[in-house]
Structure 1
Amino acid sequence: MSSLPIPTGIDAALAQKVIAWLSPRFDEMEALLKRLVDIDSGSYDKAGVDAVGAVITDLLAADGIAVTRLPNADFGDVLRAEVPGTVGGPYALLLGHRDTVFTKGTVAKRPYSREGDTAFGPGVCDMKAGLVSNIFTLRAIKAVGGLSFPVVALFTGDEEIGSGTGRPHIEEAAKGARAVLNTEPGRVSGNVVTARKGGASFRISVTGKAAHSGVNHAEGASAIEALARKIVKLHALTDYAAGITTNVGVIKGGNTHNTVAPWAEAELDLRFVTLEQHATLEAQIAAIVAAEDVPGTAATLATKAVFLPLEAEHSAELFPLYQAAAASVGFAVGGEFTGGCADSGFTASLGVPTLCGLGPIGGKAHTDEEFCRLDSFVPRTQALAATICAIA
């Protein structure tokens, strides 16, 4: 268990009050988790994502916590909640996304359920449990009269599909933040996330020229052949030692077996560890796609989504504070690197101290077996709130 003490000071002194306020809240927290899980909120289900937002807004408003709704025409609205500080200055920023990967109708087939200390259901750990932690952290800080600095939470609606509309709000909010804490699920090991890969997805479209494959094959230009040559080059960019992977996971093209293919498409996934790698790899990918591998063919590259990395240097200041906060409520915790992407990469890449994986412990996200360890609910939320108190 960490020997680091929670720093002394006015805000640090409030940590024990916040911890005490949260201590008896398990039943309330689980009831809210069940309520949120039992609302379908797939990324493309704006009504469902906004329904989750309405529950959050009403609950916070009942405690006198102001919530601002930032409308979004196509995806869930962004919500910004704030507990003002008694002095002011840069705020602590909590992040959480309300969308899940599960389609409308999933809850009817597989609603919230519980077996002992384990909860199940669509999005139960990724990341509706984290939303509950954020909500109760705000409520706890409000209940003790607030800190010297404000605490802000953003609840976004399209993280699972790349945060295309959420990212600008996250980056704008990060500019005024002293630190960012993201309640993505705690790792199965119990660790928090101190570093994450970045990632990007692309669509590659190739055009060629159709021809009869038996009568006038030479007059055709195969888009499929051109794509295949590009895939070999793209996969050659993988460098496991450097943490770089490229994967063409979807391909399609052509019209019939006896026609030279006039079109082909592919979807590429890229993962990287640093911003420098990202810039280099994007240039390399663009060059590979632009090359005319088969005379008479042409290709275009479209970016579908981008997540930036959480590099370990950007969690280095916050992690010891979290370890000390965890120790104060009775558990030890380590830091962990993960290949998954999250919104925390956007804030870290701006140079803002960022820590991730602070939600309750869970696993098997994005599957029917997704679970959350309920015995981690209160202590992880207490550690989150105490960490905020310590960053003054």
Structure 2
Amino acid sequence: MTASPVAALTARAQDVSSEIVTDILTLVRHETGSYDLPALATGRDLLRELAVHRLGRPDHEHRHPGGDCGDTLTLTYTGTAPGHVALVGHYDTVWPTGTLAGWEHPQASGDGRDKLSGPGIFDMKTGLAQGIWSLKLARESGVPVPTVTFLFNGDEEIGSLSSRPVIEEVARKADVTLVLEPTAHGAVKTGRKGTGIFEVTVTGVEAHAGLAPQDGASAITALSEFVVAAAGVAAPDKGTTINTGLIKGGTATNVVAGWATASVDIRVGSQAEQDRVDAELDAIDVSDPRVRVKVDHAWNRPPMTLNAASAPLLDLARQVAREQGRQELPTAAVGGASDANFVAALGLPVLCGMGAVGDGAHAQGEFVYPDTVPAQTALVAGLLARLADPLRG
């Protein structure tokens, strides 16, 4: 019996798994913290060289300058069929340059499975290498393949401040978008919370804390009232969390504080909750009328849900997974956000979490299971083969 194309792709991915892992480790060994522009530029060029080495020169490429952020690189490889797929991933990490030297590698799993560890290996350099290899495997299999546009951005971890319009433009031109972020323990991510980083600025009245405290109006006291009230706006049962992570204020211990600021991380699961949080934070009053409170509503990413356009894409991914021999391809809704949020908000088909299987994102010792690399690579390769024709909802 002749093996199915997906089974053949999976077997081939297993044969070259050591090469895929080599590419993953090559990317990990070059640190690309979000705020180190020279390191990001080198990492961007390394990623391009890897794509060219495995796939040849792209038919179209463009570097979109990021300004104070890492650049966004788009590489388009023309296919042999009408479809067009965007493969999206970020090459920046949360880890500052120098982290690798002191990295502590985790022990093997209790079940004896090997782990590969390093800054950014899970989030999300494994996904980048797997994405490149998925197109390589699909092309070498001889099946019709769609046009593929890779989008590699260097600012996802700090909000995709410069890359968002490029992501949206690429997604609009493609039939579907696959985001190569890590899985949720093997599950595809079909739901992500919307995120906001609100800046709260409080202006009070300075006075001598010993001689004339009554003449002052403490910005710090008022900000403390605001922070407590803001925490009460959270609704964990609805997926809404509010965390004040940073506070600054005042000039000296013997001065009634004339200023104070706070940075507040907000996560919501729906547009309705986003609207509610906006309204309730604006309605918070502080006890001293002489104090002014200004809230900058900086929503970074809209909530992501499985929209109608994405449901057929999920069905297709599940078909490919079954042909690989998997019993199921689970889905998950997670608290973190990604660039998939932008695509879903446009009503376009997108799946996220198509990358690594492992754990520990943003944590010392983040890791991937190397024995999952072939199947994950082949899953995306199989999807590319199925998307040679435009997806019909």
CA distance in 2, matches of 1:141, 1:69: 26
**Counterpart residue number, 1:322:** 317
Deviations 1:118-158 (A, max 9, x none): 10110111000011111112222343467463221111001
CA distance in 2, matches of 1:225, 1:79: 47
Change over 3 Å in CA distance of 1:303–1:65 after alignment to 2: farther
- What amino acid is aligned across from residue 166 of structure 1 in structure 2? S
**Counterpart residue number, 2:374:** 378
- Partner-residue secondary structure (3-state), 2:221: helix
CA distance in 1, matches of 2:363, 2:147: 37
Alignment of structure 1 residues 128-277 onto 2, 5 Å: 128-144=125-141, 147=144, 149-188=146-185, 190-277=186-273
Residue number among 88, 101, 107 corresponding to 1:108 in the alignment: 101
Residue number among 69, 92, 100 corresponding to 2:85 in the alignment: 92
CA distance in 1, matches of 2:223, 2:252: 17
Change over 3 Å in CA distance of 1:114–1:136 after alignment to 2: farther
- What amino acid is aligned across from residue 205 of structure 2 in structure 1? K
Is 1:307 equivalent to 2:304 in the alignment?
Answer: no
Deviation at residue 113 of structure 1 after TM alignment:
9.0
Deviation at residue 55 of structure 1 after TM alignment:
2.0
Report how many aligned residue pairs link the two structures.
376
Change over 3 Å in CA distance of 1:111–1:151 after alignment to 2: farther
- What amino acid is aligned across from residue 328 of structure 1 in structure 2? E
- What amino acid is aligned across from residue 172 of structure 2 in structure 1? K
Is 1:124 equivalent to 2:118 in the alignment?
Answer: no
Change over 3 Å in CA distance of 1:352–1:195 after alignment to 2: same
State the TM-score, normalized to the length of structure 1.
0.88
- What amino acid is aligned across from residue 357 of structure 1 in structure 2? G
**Counterpart residue number, 1:9:** none
- Decide whether the 8 Å contact of 2:9 with 2:137 is kept in 1: yes
Is 1:43 equivalent to 2:34 in the alignment?
Answer: yes
- Worse overlay, 328-337 or 122-131: 328-337
CA distance in 2, matches of 1:74, 1:30: 32
State the TM-score, normalized to the length of structure 2.
0.88
- Partner-residue secondary structure (3-state), 1:212: coil
Change over 3 Å in CA distance of 1:252–1:76 after alignment to 2: closer
Deviation at residue 21 of structure 1 after TM alignment:
4.4
- Worse overlay, 111-120 or 204-213: 111-120
Deviations 1:180-201 (A, max 9, x none): 111111123x222121111111
Structure 1: unaligned runs, 5 residues or longer:
1-12
**Counterpart residue number, 1:77:** 71
- Partner-residue secondary structure (3-state), 2:198: strand
- Decide whether the 8 Å contact of 1:208 with 1:223 is kept in 2: yes
**Counterpart residue number, 2:51:** 60
- What amino acid is aligned across from residue 130 of structure 1 in structure 2? G
- Worse overlay, 125-134 or 20-29: 20-29
- Partner-residue secondary structure (3-state), 1:312: coil
Deviations 1:77-103 (A, max 9, x none): 2111222133435x2111100000111
- What amino acid is aligned across from residue 31 of structure 1 in structure 2? T
- Partner-residue secondary structure (3-state), 2:25: helix
- Decide whether the 8 Å contact of 1:275 with 1:349 is kept in 2: no
RMSD: 2.3
Deviation at residue 54 of structure 1 after TM alignment:
1.5
CA distance in 1, matches of 2:102, 2:207: 49
Deviation at residue 45 of structure 1 after TM alignment:
1.3
- Decide whether the 8 Å contact of 1:196 with 1:311 is kept in 2: yes
CA distance in 2, matches of 1:372, 1:354: 23
Deviations 1:165-214 (A, max 9, x none): 111111111111221111111123x2221211111112211111111223
Deviation at residue 28 of structure 1 after TM alignment:
0.8
- Decide whether the 8 Å contact of 2:74 with 2:150 is kept in 1: yes
Structure 1 runs of 4+ aligned residues shifted over 6 Å read 111-114
- Decide whether the 8 Å contact of 2:225 with 2:286 is kept in 1: no
CA distance in 2, matches of 1:286, 1:36: 44
Is 1:344 equivalent to 2:340 in the alignment?
Answer: yes
